Each structure stands twice: as C-alpha cells, then as structure tokens.
C-alpha cells in the first residue's frame, strides 16, 4: 500500500458498481445497507463495513440504510440497538429516515415462506438438530434426504401454521428449503429457514415463537428495501447461491440485490469477535464495552480516537478479496496525523520531580503567554503560571547522563518551555538514595526561553508550577493482548491467556491549571508525551481524568526493531 495515495485506483467493488451503472442496471441506482446484529457493540471491523457502505452511497449519490438484523431473540438487546446508532452517527454517517429492523418484516417473511411451501420449495421437517446435522453429509459426500421431504403442500402449510401458533416445542420442527441434498455446496442441502424458539424478542415481545434464519431473512430484507449491492464479508461467499436461490423462487419482491463479498478487517493485538468481546465484558476483564482498551467504537471514542482518523484508516486499508491482518500501528498513524493538527497543546507531568528555583523570589508568580498550537495561530494563546517551585518529568533529569542526553543534568543547562533556562545546583535525596528534589537556579535574562547572548541550549523540557498545577488521574494504556493474533487458538490456549496484565496503568500526575474545566471528550497534546483525552465517564467538574490516547511516536515499533 502506498500511504500517500489512499484509494487511488478503483477497488473491485467500485469497479462492479461502475460497470452496473454504465450498463444501466437498477436504473443506475446505488443503494447499500449496513446490517448489524444488535448482539454487541460495534468494533473497528464494523467501521470498515460502515465506511464502505455509507461511503459508496455518498460517492454515487445513492442511499445507505441502517438495518438491524434482529432475527435471534436470545442474544439481542435494546442497549445494543442504541449504542449502534450512536456509533454510526459518531463516525459521521446518516441513514436519514431509513432505519429498519428485520423484525419489522416478520409477517412478510412468514408470508413468503408460505409462498415457498405452496411452490413445493419448502417443507416442515421433524428431524432433531442432531439428525439434521448428521444427515447433512460432508463437503465430499452427499447428504441424506429427510423422511419429511415429500410431505404434501397441505400438510406443510398446516404444520407451518401450527409452528407459528406455538403448538410445538423448541427444536421439534424446522421449515427447510427444498433444494438439493446432493449439492456440492453444503448450504444448499435443504437449509433451515425457520426454527421454533419460544423466546421474548426485544421488539416483537412474545408475538412470535418461530424465527427466520439469517440466510432466509437477509436476502428478503435486502430485496424489500430495494438494495442494489448487498456487501458482506467473505465467509458469506458460500452462502451466495442460497441468497440467489431464495430470491429467484419468490414473486412479489421489488428487486434482486447483488451480494458482493470482501475481506473482513483483522487487526493485530486484539480480538474482533463480538462473542469474545462480550466475554471480556461479562468476565470483567475490562470495565465495559467502552473500556478505552477495547477495539469497539465506543472504546476508541472514549480513548480519544477521532472519527476522522478512523475514516482515514478505513480509506487507506481499502477493500480486497483476500484475508489479511492490518497492523494496529496504521490506525495509530492515522490518529497522530489527525490529532497533530486538531489537538491543543498543554503541559502535563506524568511522574513528577520537584524543582526549587533558589534565586526566584518567594511568593512571586508570573504568567507566560503560550501558543495553543505551534503552527495554528487561530488556536490562540493561553496563560500559564510560573513560580519558584515546579514539577518536571523524572526522566528529564539524569545525574549520570549518557552522551546524547540533552535534558537537565548537574552539568547541563536546560530550557523550560517558553519560560527560562535553568541550571541544577544541588540534588537532594532521601535515605534510600532516591532523588526527591532538585535545587536549581534560573537565568532571569532568558525570559520566554530566549537566549539574548546567543548561547546554545539543546534541551527543552515541559513543566508545571507546583502551586498552580492541578493534580489529575492519568490512565496509560497498552495493548490489550501480548500476542499478535490472540484470536488464533490453534495452540489450544484460550485467547484470554494472552491478555496483557499491564494494559492499564493509573498514575497521579499534574496538569496545567487551565485544564481544570476541560470538557469531557476534549483532546490535548501534552507536550512531549502524547495525546490525551478527558475521560467522559469518570471525570467530575474540576477533576478531569485523562486517558492517554496515543503516544507521540510508535514506541512498540522501536522496541521491536531493537529485539
């Protein structure tokens, strides 16, 4: 991939769409949909599908629907329906008035099933789930026909009606398509269309006790919404003949959408299955779906990722037919590019070391005007207080410094950003030898960090005034997993054995006083440290909690090169 020209050429989906348009197919219309099942929060993989579907609609002046694929009553919940809407909107997409639910079509889906029965294309089967499975055959050997395959249409209609009426127990019967038990495609061997499930649905309540399968509901829902291009992930490629078969049998549908498959997004050092993410939430391995370590949209948002960065990422990775794994570093690269221009600068200290300027008047305070952004004057300036006692970062002082260490040492002057040059005069330690304080002197002639005498000082470090700084909880995050592909359980180990025990570090630091009223969700670059976002859940007025969104550089890349 050439990062300088995202989506420069037409990907295969756009090629298909452009061909369809020039051939006048669907009257040139482009109508896509994003069809999540409301059984979990959306993750970065879904973002790829969202950007693709809504992006295509936008590019070709078409439409994209949001459709909840809610055909499985036991795993679905309104909490998810709400979070999904919030996340799609936050990503910057709009379904206008086209939010649909597969459950809205339950009656129509039932009537289409009756039509299939009437055409001799579906039958009620009494085999148990186990028999169904064992009779299905293998990819290399044909399946066995069900003893109920040749029931009369009247009997099938009667049994199907009674299935709906609740006369039978869960699993007692299914409605199956009547296709071909010898088909080389196992999905065409009389697949189930309806199952009995006496369960309460989050929208239809107790109205139904039979529920359509994904394969049956999805193609008809697409057709009912006049979808032109039904884009899904590669695992559905083998389902496509069934998608087409069902639509081909039925009368009364407005169109026959084209199913197109693309490779799903896989990312290093995380998992993307909703089932696994749910496990992390339920077993309290993380603090919830929106834990800033989660690859969910809600987690990324809380951590401080921007919708712009996620969209840019999705644009850069593009769409392809081949499975691949994308390095998390690319997402972080997009994020840094975006935050570099939009994040206000501020100073914060993660691990404080106190310094006292012995020649600075006691009780004196002065204010420095510091630009909020080094190259964007429109972001304005802020006032930052300076006084005799300051905090600097522990790692910005070394007693025995290596050659290329340009920060503060007993022998080396350093610049306090936008303030003064200082020299260390005395290192104070406790009984264990730990440095507790530095006594320094400042050069009053260097106000603003300037050197009128032209002397060269290489190092510039950040600082906060001890008397003015705001103590703040700062949360530092690392990868959630220590293994590149935790999803791969071929070594027989559960993915959770690879959870990174150090994925969260909570520290007490200090930030500029001006951040006291920083709004939840607002983002800053703490100079020299990285980008930080005010936590939207745990911050209280006057007490912001900061999440480190991302460091300024990819520290992992460095470590890995060394290793």
Distance CA 534, CA 339 (A): 14
Q: Which of 274, 311, 316, 344 is catalytic?
A: 274
15 sits in the region (left: phi over 0; alpha: psi -120 to 50; else beta) called alpha
Contact set for ligand ATP, span 57-96 (CB under 6 A): none
> Taking CB under 6 A as the rule, does residue 264 contact ligand ATP?
yes
Distance CA 273, CA 88 (A): 18
What string of H, E and C letters represents the secondary structure of 464-478?
EECCCCEEEEEEEEC
Is the backbone of residue 344 left (phi > 0), alpha (psi -120 to 50) or beta?
Answer: beta
Quick one: 236 or 524, whose CB is closer to ligand ATP? Answer: 236
Minimal distance, residue 40 CB to ligand ATP, in Å = 6
Site map (CB under 6 A) of ligand ATP, residues 8-37, x = contact:
---------------------------xxx
CB of residue 272 vs ligand ATP: minimum separation in angstroms? 5
From 56-64, 112-120, 265-273, 456-464, span contacting ligand ATP (CB under 6 A): 265-273
> Toward ligand ATP, which CB reaches closer, 231 or 476?
231
Query: Which one from 14, 37, 417, 496 is the annotated catalytic residue?
Result: 37
Phi/psi for 51 (5° steps) reads -60, -40
Interactions with ligand ATP, residue window 213-252 (CB under 6 A): 232-233
- Nearest approach, Cβ of residue 84 and ligand ATP (Å): 8
What's the closest the beta carbon of residue 199 comes to ligand ATP, in angstroms? 18
Q: How far is the C-alpha of 113 from the C-alpha of 458, rounded, in Å?
A: 77
Q: Which residue in 105, 104, 122 sits closest to 113, CA to CA?
A: 122
Pick one of 202, 274, 475, 523: the residue that binds ligand ATP (CB under 6 A): 274
Q: Which of 264, 297, 271, 298 is nearest to 285 (CA)?
A: 271
Given candidates 49, 503, 539, 547, which one binds ligand ATP under the rule CB under 6 A? 49
Q: Which stretch binds ligand ATP (CB under 6 A): 40-48, 372-380, 432-440, 536-544?
A: 40-48
Please name which of 436, 270, 426 lies closest in space to residue 358, comparing C-alpha atoms.
Answer: 426
Give the nearer residue to ligand ATP in terms of CB position, either 236 or 510: 236
Task: CB nearer to ligand ATP: give 450 or 488.
Answer: 488
Active site residue 274: yes
Q: Is the dihedral of CA 333, 337, 343, 347 positive or negative?
A: positive
Length of the chain: 563
CA 14 from centre of chain: 24
* Selected binder of ligand ATP within 246, 265, 461, 518 (CB under 6 A): 265
Least distance between ligand ATP and beta carbon 271 (Å): 10
Give the dihedral sign, CA 196/200/201/207: positive
Q: Residue 264's closest CA among 226, 293, 232, 222?
A: 232
Active site residues: 37, 264, 274
Q: Which residues bind ligand ATP (CB under 6 A)?
A: 35-37, 39, 45-46, 48-49, 232-233, 264-265, 272-274
């Amino acid at each position: 991939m050439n990062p300088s020209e995202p989506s420069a050429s037409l990907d295969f989906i756009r090629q298909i769409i452009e061909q369809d348009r020039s051939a006048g197919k669907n009257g040139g219309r482009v109508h896509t949909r994003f069809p999540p099942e409301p059984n979990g929060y959306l993750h970065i993989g879904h973002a790829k599908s969202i950007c693709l579907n809504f992006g295509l609609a936008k590019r070709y002046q078409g439409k994209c629907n949001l459709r909840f694929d809610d055909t499985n009553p036991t795993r679905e919940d309104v909490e998810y329906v709400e979070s999904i809407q919030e996340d799609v909107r936050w990503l910057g997409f709009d379904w206008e008035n086209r939010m649909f639910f597969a459950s809205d079509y339950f009656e129509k889906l039932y009537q289409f099933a009756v039509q299939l029965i009437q055409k001799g294309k579906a039958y009620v089967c009494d085999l148990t789930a186990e028999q169904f499975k064992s009779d299905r055959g293998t990819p290399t050997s044909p399946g066995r026909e069900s003893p109920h395959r040749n029931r009369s249409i009247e009997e099938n209609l009667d049994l199907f009606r009674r299935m709906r009426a609740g006369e039978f127990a869960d699993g007692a019967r299914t409605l199956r398509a009547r296709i071909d038990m010898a088909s080389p495609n196992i999905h065409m061997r009389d697949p189930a269309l309806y199952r009995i499930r006496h369960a309460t649905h989050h929208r239809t309540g107790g109205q139904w006790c039979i529920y359509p399968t994904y394969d049956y509901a999805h193609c008809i829902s697409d057709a009912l919404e006049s979808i032109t291009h039904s884009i899904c992930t590669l695992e559905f490629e083998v389902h496509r003949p069934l998608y087409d078969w069902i639509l081909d049998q039925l009368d009364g549908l407005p169109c026959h959408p084209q199913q197109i498959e693309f490779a799903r997004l896989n990312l290093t050092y995380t998992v993307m299955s909703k089932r696994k993410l749910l496990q992390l939430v339920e077993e309290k391995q993380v603090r919830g779906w929106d834990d800033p370590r989660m690859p969910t949209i809600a987690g990324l948002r809380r951590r401080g990722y921007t919708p712009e960065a996620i969209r840019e990422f999705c644009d850069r990775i593009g769409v392809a037919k081949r499975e691949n794994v994308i390095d998390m570093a690319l997402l972080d690269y997009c994020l840094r590019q975006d935050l570099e221009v939009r994040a206000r600068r501020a100073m914060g200290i993660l691990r404080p070391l106190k310094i006292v300027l012995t020649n600075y008047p006691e009780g004196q305070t002065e204010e420095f005007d510091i630009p909020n952004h080094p190259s964007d004057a429109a972001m304005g300036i802020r006032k930052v207080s300076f006084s005799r006692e300051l905090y600097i970062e522990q790692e910005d002082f070394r007693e025995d410094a290596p050659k290329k260490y340009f920060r503060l040492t007993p022998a080396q002057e350093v610049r306090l950003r936008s303030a003064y040059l200082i020299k260390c005069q005395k290192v104070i330690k406790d009984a264990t030898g730990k440095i507790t304080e530095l006594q320094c002197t400042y050069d009053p002639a260097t106000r603003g960090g300037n050197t009128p005498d032209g002397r060269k000082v290489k190092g510039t470090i950040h600082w906060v005034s001890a008397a003015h700084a705001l103590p703040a909880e700062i949360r530092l995050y690392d990868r959630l997993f220590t293994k590149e592909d935790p999803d791969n359980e071929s070594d027989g180990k559960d993915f959770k054995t690879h959870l990174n025990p150090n994925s969260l570090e909570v520290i007490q630091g200090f930030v500029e006083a001006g951040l006291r009223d920083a709004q939840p969700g607002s983002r800053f670059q703490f100079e020299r440290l990285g980008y930080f976002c005010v936590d939207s859940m745990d911050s209280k007025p006057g007490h912001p909690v900061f999440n480190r969104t991302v460091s300024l550089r990819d520290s992992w890349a460095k470590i890995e090169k060394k290793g």
